[in-house]
Structure 1
Amino acid sequence: MGTEFPFEIKDVEPEQTKKLLEYFKGEFNGFVQVGPKKYFFPQKYRQEAANIYNMPVRPSDVFVTSYPRSGTTWTQELVWMVANDLDYEKSNAIPLTERYPFLEFSICVHPMNKEKFIEENSHSEEKLKTLEFVCQPGTEQLANTPSPRFIKSHMPLSLLPPTLLDTAKMIYVARDPRDVAVSFYHLNRLMRTQGYNGDFKTYWDFFVKDLHHWTPFFEHLKEAWEKRDHPNMLFLFYEELSKDLKASVHRVTKFFGKEFSDEEIERLCDHLSIDNFKNNKSVNYDVMKELGIQLTGEQSFIRKGKAGGWRDYFDEEMTQQAEQWIADNLRDTDLRFPHLDL
């Protein structure tokens, strides 16, 4: 790979790959596991690993990171609004996807899928241009992005540039893994880059066995949690955003050294309320639907936005298994989800 990358990248073994490819129709070449924690990605990660790890970080950069479906979009808009002094006009005019390049999205776009998307959008110059932008490696996009840059990533801290926290700001958001899994299951069915075609129980099985994009889930969280006291790190929980948005808004404003009046805070909370958020075109990733990367279904990118919805999906056995899995993974850490008594 030329550039320094300190972790070994191994192919997922053939039997396992064969099974995964039966369920994930958006992938064609299989998957890799990275480093001692075995972070799981599509094969295409090999091309991007060193570029992401060695990406030059600027002091004015703001990273919003999380395991997928943890309230990332919500947090992105909150952070952007606070850092940009509540510029509603710009927020409404420029889609979130453009305000925050997604650092590693290109690793999810298999070349065969990209060909398909190009063909389907070939009638429109504009769509082809957007498609090219969306599928371009994030490091290349960001090299040409003027400061201050806002960056979205689901990469665990250990696979991001090692100087990141000492150079730039990071906001990490975490959520109950059961809700994460339900939300991600729906997205994996909608996104043709993943093309998941199985049931939820099978999906959950892949998720807890760390055989799914960006897993292992708990290692991901723990890496950020260990740095939660770093002055450049703000660690949020989705459940706190959900329960007391105003308190979370205050934490973000303090993190950026900003001050707003009570009225301004009220208006921001209203802007971020889940009902307004679901109907906000700027944050709903409509571009993915327009390009055909996301299937147009009943569901928008922002789904229910509630905590505890997993109960509708888990049978008794899965519920017990999940409790045991969470307890086992939290045993050696003081990380606790604010709403769980485990």
Structure 2
Amino acid sequence: MEELKNSFPFEIRNVEGTDNKELSKYFLGAGNFNIQVGPKKYLLMSDYKGDADNIYNMPLRQDDIFVVTYPRSGTTWTQELVWLLASGLDYSTAVKVPLSSRSIFLEFPMLMHQNIVEHLMKEHAEKPENLKTFQLMRTPGSEQVARMPSPRFIRTHLPLSLLPPTLLDSTKVVYVARDPRDVAVSYYHLSSEFKSYNFNGDFKTYWSLFVRDLVYWSPFFEHLKEAWEMRHHPNMMFLFYEELLQDLPTTVQRVADFLGKEYTADQIKELCTHLKFENFKKNPSVGIDNLKEYGMMAPKGEFIRKGKSGGWRDYFDDEMTREAQRWIDNNLHNTDIQFPTVQ
């Protein structure tokens, strides 16, 4: 019997008017490829439209593990942690196989939009192997995931509402949240260095767009609240990035317990050494050097940057600091969400 398919329940509309002019002015890579999805107006790139329904109706497997985050919230760190815990601490495979192959980025193909593809085709016209790779990168995420062997590790920046409605009843989900001020700083650097965005403004401009939900995968707080509301579901683990920074061993043990994995204290200690930021940053398996080779990332760009909390203070003047606090307070009004402070 054929499985009943849910129709995609949200309207997808093109961003128009002043908002689209601003996006086109500052995000030179994405140009006019801007859409908003649903009543919360999640900002994505238009290539998402082609896979939106397939992602929403993706057949799930009981042993799937999703890592869900708003961008720059500790996604890569958590992916590596989750993969190793769920894979018997197989460091040998973790070193040999890039994390991007072990854990598929569900909506990455939307970043391979027309502007960046045309640029790459010109740059690599005499490198047919690279051209073939670019076409593979454009394969819809739902198709890539369908071909993965079990257990599947899937990462996404999409909010829960755009993922399969049965997600939490079918699979385990680790959601990671981070102080939005640190998120904005990290996202600004990535947006400036990653050619699919090619952001050409300063940080103050970026922050202005961020608080107005005009950076991709925004609005930040709607994304966060969707997950927070489900934090007590037995298949949901809600983590703060700051918890990983503050007490990595305890947090690693919590994730192991959530995944139903038992390890000795020495094994947890060894994993924490592997994940220690200084070691993690040097690990080629979790980096994106291939994107630099393909010209998709600035040669000096850093995908894994500082790995700390509170660095936003180096970027915010007094006025921005006050504005940020008001923005956070207004959005967290009537919630019990509190971002941990790392000492």
Alignment counterpart, residue 99 of structure 1, candidates 97, 102, 117 = 102
> For residue 212 of structure 1, what is the amino acid of its counterpart?
V
Distance in 1, Cα, partners of 2:262 & 2:146 = 31
Question: Which of 317, 322, 327 in structure 2 is aligned with 1:325?
Answer: 327
Give, as a single letter, the amino acid of the residue that structure 1 aligns with 2:325: E
> In the alignment, which residue of structure 1 is the partner of 2:312?
310
1:241 counterpart = 2:244:
yes
Distance 2:28 2:147 in 1: 33
Q: Deviations over 1:254-300 (max 9, x none)?
A: 01111111111111000000000000000012221121111111x42
The one of 35, 42, 49 aligned to 2:52? 49
- The partner residue of 2:234 within 228, 231, 244 is 231
Q: Which letter maps to 2:14?
A: D
| Aligned residue in 1 for 2:37 | 34
TM-score, normalized by length of structure 2?
0.95
Residue in structure 1 matched with residue 173 of structure 2 by the alignment: 170
Q: TM-score, normalised by structure 1?
A: 0.96
Aligned with residue 64 of structure 2, among 61, 77, 82: 61
1:189 partner letter = S
Correspondence list, 1:89-168, <5 A: 89-168=92-171
> Unaligned stretches of 5+ in structure 2?
none
Find the counterpart in structure 2 of residue 186 from structure 1: 189
Q: Return the alpha-carbon distance in structure 1 between the equivalents of residues 125 and 6 of structure 2.
A: 36
Mapped to 1, the partners of 2:50 and 2:207 lie a distance apart of 28
**Partner Cα distance (1:250, 1:274) in 2:** 18
Matches within 5 A, 1:171-320: 171-297=174-300, 299-320=301-322
TM-superposition CA deviations, 1:141-200 (whole Å, max 9, x none)? 111111111001000000011111100111000000000000000000111000100000
Structure 1 partner of 2:21:
18
Q: Once the 2 structures are TM-superposed, how far is the Cα of residue 119 of structure 1 from its aligned partner?
A: 3.0
Paired residue secondary structure (1:40): strand
8 Å contact kept, 1:48–1:107: no
Secondary structure of residue in 2 paired with 1:198? coil
Cα distance in structure 2, aligned partners of 1:35 and 1:259: 41
- Structure 2 Cα separation of the partners of residues 124 and 83 of structure 1: 37
What is the letter of the counterpart of residue 306 of structure 1? K
Which whole-Å deviations, capped at 9, do the CAs of 1:73-126 have from their partners, x for residues lacking one? Answer: 000000000000100000000001111111011112212321221332333344
CA contact (8 A) 1:17 1:30 kept: no
Contact 1:171 1:234 (8 Å CA) reproduced: yes
Where structure 1 has 5 or more consecutive residues not aligned to the other structure, the ranges are: none
Output the CA distance in 2 between the equivalents of 1:266 and 1:121.
Answer: 44
Q: Structure 1 stretch 109-118 or stretch 242-251: which is displaced more?
A: 109-118
> For 1:268 and 1:123, how far apart are their aligned partners in 2?
43
CA distance in 1, matches of 2:18, 2:183: 27
Of 112-121 and 141-150, deviating more is: 112-121
What is the one-letter code of the residue matched to 1:259?
Answer: E
Select 1:82's aligned residue among 85, 90, 102.
Answer: 85
Asked whether the 8 Å contact 1:181–1:207 carries over to 2, the reply is yes
- Does structure 1 retain, via aligned residues, the 8 Å contact 2:112–2:137? no
Q: Distance in 2 between matches of 1:290 and 1:62?
A: 30
- Per the TM alignment, residue 3 of structure 1 is displaced from its structure 2 partner at its CA by 7.4
Moved more, 186-195 or 120-129: 120-129
Q: Identity of aligned pairs, percent?
A: 56
8 Å contact 2:190–2:302 — kept in the other structure? no
Taking only aligned residues, the RMSD between alpha carbons, in angstroms, comes to: 1.5
The runs of at least 4 aligned residues of structure 1 exceeding 3 Å deviation read 122-126
Moved more, 106-115 or 262-271: 106-115
Q: Which deviates further from its counterpart, 14-23 or 123-132?
A: 123-132
8 Å CA contact retained: 2:23, 2:31: no
Which amino acid in the other structure matches residue 275 of structure 1? Answer: E
Work out the CA distance in 1 between the residues paired with 2:126 and 2:266: 47
Distance in 2, matches of 1:234 and 1:77, equals: 16
Q: How many equivalent residue pairs?
A: 338
